[in-house]
A and B are shown apart, each in its own frame.
Chain A
Amino acid sequence: MRSDAMSIPFVSRTLRTVIALSLAIVPTTSLPTTSLRAQTPQILSTGSGPGARHPIVALDADAVFWVAMPNGQRELFVAATDGSPPSQLTTGADLRVGHGTFDQWSPIATSDDGDIVAYWNSLGVHVLDRQASTDVVVAPATLLAMPRLDAAGSRVVYQDLVAGELEVFLVDATGSNPPVQLTNNSGAGRRLPMIRGDLVLFQKLVGREMELFVHDLSTSTTSSALTSGSGGGNRHGRLTPNADAVVFEAVVGGEQTVMRLDLGSSTITTIGGAASGSRIAATDGDEQVVLQTGTPQPLVELHDPAITTLTSGSRGGHRLPQLDRHGQLVVWQEEHQGNLEVFAVRRAWPAVISQYGTAGTPSSGTLQPTTGTYRLQQSVGIDTQLPSGTPAVFAVGFTPQNVPISGAPGNFQLLTPIASVVVFLDGQGDTAGPVPLAATLLGFQYHAQFAVLDPTANPLGLVTSAGFTVAVP
């Protein structure tokens, strides 16, 4: 499943092969060298002091946040994975993180663009705006707030005590309105709320087991229990970025096992990771899941559903992995030089895709450019209203140009092709070509264009797309 707004059919194996071959002819000496290599763990923090780092990553930005103790107080830090040094975002904040080794749930949260960060301390729940350079206390919860932001960073959910029970609250990120209590009489234990869209996920006891519930802000209704028989401990449930599913951990045979609950169909599938200790799974928008597992050496595993181990293991302790929207960046904590530090694997650098030139006019409808991202692959494509099976040519080249095509007024050849391949429009009149995101393509730039055979569009019977410039920074 793709997460972009416009669905793009997956490109064929043949097409991928042709593109890969065409790219392979580029002399390797033309590729720039770089110190930032994908698939190799980077250490983003140093000398962070004792305690856990609780790293998190923004879904849509190269921004990794964590807590560290530079001077005896716990402060908030951020870094990108481009090699730039980390920045300290707070001074004297002394963030709270819960109950030491017993709290694996991240005490901090960020908006999807990484501009807004939430945390809590002895003053209450804070919302820090990196662009506006503001830090506002939006709620008075100081015990175990565990705040979470929505995608835009405009709303915060957190937990706070009411009559001896932790309840879920919602407050706007500006703090201009008082918090609204979303749950009542939730009973013992933690709620660990999370918000995506209008859905607020939380846990509460059913009998002796913590189960997951969803409160819909748009209807002000709370679901019945979404899970059952989940066993002891916490569920540590997390919504997917587009809130269509939840990953959580349940006790199966005495071992914490990661599950995925599809909110549409209510089906639950087992992801894996069954082992003692918490799994603290996180998921992206492309059905990839990271979790911690393993003993005696804790590991970070990526399940897609094949299992890839991202860490080589060090001493014990929680790894607390998280990943961005497409799983291209995975972060966790691991011991380094005596402290837990923030590790990151940049599995792919997202390409920057821009457009140039103009598209021609087909015989029916329009020819619109599309882009998409799925896991470690991006794509460029076209969206038409032409019949399924219509042939098209996908061409790539290194040199842009802008040459009017004779016999096809309003259409242009926008590159000098070095390779091309014939593709066919799918049932929606769409097609796409892949943009591989391999580490060897760092610093690489090329161009792509589609031409669709449309006999009635013009005398030549060809309609061209706008050009794409693909740059892997």
Chain B
Amino acid sequence: MSTPRLCLALLLGLAALPAQQPAPRVLQDQVPCRELAAGQALQLGGRACLSTTRFDLPYLVWDLTDHLPIRNDDDSAVAWLRAHARELGHGAFTPVPAGTRDWNGDTVRIFSLERDGVRLDDADIWVCFDADGCLGLVNRVPPGLDGAPAPGPEVAGVERCYKVQRARDGTNRVVVATVRRTRTPTHELVDFVVDGTAFGREHVQRVTVEPDSAATVTEYFFGGFPDQLQADARGVIWCSDPSGNRILEIDPQTGSAIPHSTLPWRQPDGLCVDPNGRVWTGLYTSGNGLGLFDRNTNTFTRFPVPPGGGSLAIPTWHHNGSIYVTQHSPARLHEFVVATSTWQPSVVLPGAWPVSATYDSTTGDMFVMQYQSNSIARIADGGGVSNLPTPQFSGPSFSAAANGKVWFSYWNSTQIGELDVATGTMSTFTPTISGAGGPIDVGPNGHVYLGTRNTGYIIEYDPVAGTTTNHLIPSGSRSLKDGLTVAPDGTVWFTSSGTGRVVRMTLP
């Protein structure tokens, strides 16, 4: 074949190939970063699909060119999931309908897994539909289901479930646990017991404890993609906008904003304000480095990436005068010494996909939320890195430290994690609002504020009472992602990134 003919044939062949579609939005929203929604080829029953993986299992799954062949009903979804149980890593577990949810106009059918009537505690599967068909699924299951033991005979009066028992060495073991429930006036305490030893406890708030609360909400529209935000000592709110390549300086009284361009450096992602009032941001475009806006000089300065660095994400201040910034992949925590404008050797993190770090001022240690490995890396002030598995397999994402506790959120659940800094033990609090978690902060009253994603609430958790109050978010500003902060006056600010809004919530 002549060269022109070959070229023509190749062109025609390429044209004949269907366009490779990115993950549908409803699937993208279930991972904290778009890179985690980048699909790889996956054959499911001879059908060309794309998927992302977690624990080497398909996590987000969608069709290469079309909708998946699943009708918008539970029976059809169950049949399809059972047919692909092996590829999806479900082992001998079978899906059971567990309700539906709306996600920005799409319908999500939720399924849990069980085996011989015993439910698996650490899994849910979302099968997502738009008006035209099945968009794909979110296959949130732990590894090791293939090797899970059979539940054995039922024991009268004993509740059991499958649960992942996590060890600090990183090993996970799917076990059949006895579930012990204790009711208090406000909570149900759920203990998971194996061989007579409780290895996990969840504090599940009873629905009727606290009514929803109507906070006063003021919305400010700035367009772009308002991302992370924090107040400076004056109460001025600083907000990153990666799509607009700008940092917004927001007057807390008027809501007016002064944009500060970061160009030619792109995608200011995470943001923190240090005690000196300097605004730091990770420039997410690979190789762009670390950004600093100094309002004293009204200048934006960019520092090149450290050796081996790529996309810098979320910065955190440390009392030693350094700014630490996460890099999602490969998992690194980079240390920038402000005084010398130099980088220290990067910390190789023990987990995967570090999202954000939190500085604990009472120990000087850093705690890094590692979404993909479901663990928290602790970077001791004097050196040394340890890896702390989270009790939930829901992707720890954001955190805040106060009085010896690190409070953290899960990307795929509204549960609130508590890490005791002294003992390293973790607890889980399950509020009355279910759905997806997101940004989190602690107020001066010690209350923890969790932003839910697309669920429509800011959840206020009082660690003393152990109860939560749900503050309704106006319908136009529920597109939370990464940004929530408690200002010095106790007001809660958050970003509704997808709608270009920054929202101020004054609690009643």
- Chain A residues with CB under 8 Å of chain B are 49-52, 69, 74, 96-104, 122, 142-144, 161, 164-166, 187-190, 205, 207-210, 231-234, 251, 254-256, 275-278, 294-298, 315-318, 335, 338-340
Q: Is the CB of A296 within 8 A of B446?
A: no
A296 to B277 Cα, complex, angstroms: 21
Residues of B within 8 A of A294 (CB): 489
Minimum CB–CB distance from A441 to chain B (whole Å) comes to 37
B463 at interface by CB-CB < 8 Å: yes
A144 to B403 Cα, complex, angstroms: 13
B104 at interface by CB-CB < 8 Å: no
Query: CB-CB contacts of B316-339 with A at 8 A, as 1s and 0s?
Result: 010111000000000000000000
A276 to B507 Cα, complex, angstroms: 8
Residues of B within 8 A of A190 (CB): 361-362, 403
Residues of A within 8 A of B463 (CB): 208, 232
Q: Is the CB of A97 within 8 A of B275?
A: yes
Q: Is the CB of A100 within 8 A of B252?
A: no
Residues of B within 8 A of A189 (CB): 362, 402-404
Given contacts A276-B507, A296-B253, A317-B234, contact A254 B295 (CB under 8 A): no
Main secondary structure of the interface of A (DSSP, over half): loop
User: How many residue pairs at the A-B interface have CB separations less than 8 Å?
Assistant: 181
Minimum CB–CB distance from B260 to chain A (whole Å) comes to 14
Residues of A within 8 A of B172 (CB): none
Q: Is the CB of A316 within 8 A of B362?
A: no
Residues of B within 8 A of A49 (CB): 276-277, 296
Given contacts A188-B404, A296-B506, contact A231 B275 (CB under 8 A): no
Minimum CB–CB distance from A43 to chain B (whole Å) comes to 15
Q: Is the CB of A276 within 8 A of B443?
A: yes
Residues of A within 8 A of B274 (CB): 100
Residues of B within 8 A of A277 (CB): 443-444, 487-491
Query: CB-CB contacts of B232-251 with A at 8 A, as 1s and 0s?
Result: 11111000000000000001
The closest CB in chain A to the CB of B492 belongs to A276
Q: Is the CB of A164 within 8 A of B422?
A: yes
A208 to B317 Cα, complex, angstroms: 27
Minimum CB–CB distance from A267 to chain B (whole Å) comes to 23
Q: Is the CB of A143 within 8 A of B277?
A: no
Which among A49, A74, A296 has the greatest number of chain B C-beta atoms within 10 A? A296
Minimum CB–CB distance from B209 to chain A (whole Å) comes to 14
B359 at interface by CB-CB < 8 Å: yes
Q: List 18 A-B contacts (CB under 8 A).
A: A96-B319, A99-B317, A101-B230, A101-B273, A103-B361, A104-B444, A165-B422, A166-B362, A188-B404, A190-B362, A232-B447, A275-B490, A277-B443, A277-B491, A317-B489, A318-B488, A339-B234, A340-B233
Q: Is the CB of B253 within 8 A of A315?
A: yes
Pick the contact of B251 from A50, A315, A339 — CB < 8 Å?
A315
Given contacts A74-B276, A164-B422, A317-B235, contact A98 B361 (CB under 8 A): yes
Which among B233, B462, B506 has the greatest number of chain A C-beta atoms within 10 A? B233
Minimum CB–CB distance from B58 to chain A (whole Å) comes to 41
Q: Is the CB of A232 within 8 A of B464?
A: yes
Residues of B within 8 A of A256 (CB): 444-445, 490
Residues of A within 8 A of B422 (CB): 164-165, 187-188
Beyond the given pairs A101-B275, A233-B403, 6 more chain A to chain B contacts, judged by CB atoms under 8 angstroms and listed by A's residue number, are A143-B361, A189-B362, A208-B463, A231-B464, A277-B491, A339-B234
A316 to B443 Cα, complex, angstroms: 15
B188 at interface by CB-CB < 8 Å: no
B476 at interface by CB-CB < 8 Å: no
The closest CB in chain B to the CB of A107 belongs to B275
B231 at interface by CB-CB < 8 Å: yes
B405 at interface by CB-CB < 8 Å: yes
Main secondary structure of the interface of B (DSSP, over half): loop
Pick the contact of A50 from B233, B445, B447, B487 — CB < 8 Å?
B233
Residues of B within 8 A of A231 (CB): 445-446, 464
Minimum CB–CB distance from A224 to chain B (whole Å) comes to 19
Pick the contact of B403 from A205, A275, A340 — CB < 8 Å?
A205
Q: Is the CB of B275 within 8 A of A317?
A: no
Question: B307-360: which have CB < 8 Å to A?
Answer: 317, 319-321, 359
Q: Is the CB of A318 within 8 A of B233?
A: yes
B278 at interface by CB-CB < 8 Å: yes
Residues of B within 8 A of A98 (CB): 275, 361
The 5 A-B pairs of least Cβ separation, nearest first, read A316-B235, A188-B404, A232-B446, A50-B277, A276-B490
Minimum CB–CB distance from A46 to chain B (whole Å) comes to 14
Question: B347-392: which have CB < 8 Å to A?
Answer: 359, 361-364, 381
Q: Is the CB of A188 within 8 A of B275?
A: no
A205 to B463 Cα, complex, angstroms: 13
Residues of B within 8 A of A209 (CB): 464
A338 to B296 Cα, complex, angstroms: 9
Query: CB-CB contacts of B214-244 with A at 8 A, as 1s and 0s?
Result: 0000000000000000111111100000000
Query: CB-CB contacts of B485-508 with A at 8 A, as 1s and 0s?
Result: 001111100000000000000110
The closest CB in chain A to the CB of B461 belongs to A232
Pick the contact of B236 from A297, A298, A316, A318 — CB < 8 Å?
A316
Residues of B within 8 A of A298 (CB): 235, 488-489
B421 at interface by CB-CB < 8 Å: yes
Residues of B within 8 A of A205 (CB): 403-404
Pick the contact of A100 from B251, B273, B405 — CB < 8 Å?
B273
Residues of A within 8 A of B359 (CB): 99
Q: Is the CB of B361 within 8 A of A188?
A: no
Q: Is the CB of B253 within 8 A of A143?
A: no
A349 to B237 Cα, complex, angstroms: 39
B106 at interface by CB-CB < 8 Å: no
A99 to B272 Cα, complex, angstroms: 12
Q: Is the CB of B488 within 8 A of A317?
A: yes
Minimum CB–CB distance from B429 to chain A (whole Å) comes to 12
Residues of A within 8 A of B462 (CB): 232, 254
Q: Is the CB of B252 within 8 A of A315?
A: yes
The closest CB in chain A to the CB of B213 belongs to A254
B420 at interface by CB-CB < 8 Å: yes
Residues of A within 8 A of B464 (CB): 207-209, 231-232, 251
Q: Is the CB of A50 within 8 A of B446?
A: no
Given contacts A50-B277, A295-B506, contact A233 B444 (CB under 8 A): yes
Residues of B within 8 A of A296 (CB): 252-253, 489, 491, 506
A296 to B218 Cα, complex, angstroms: 12
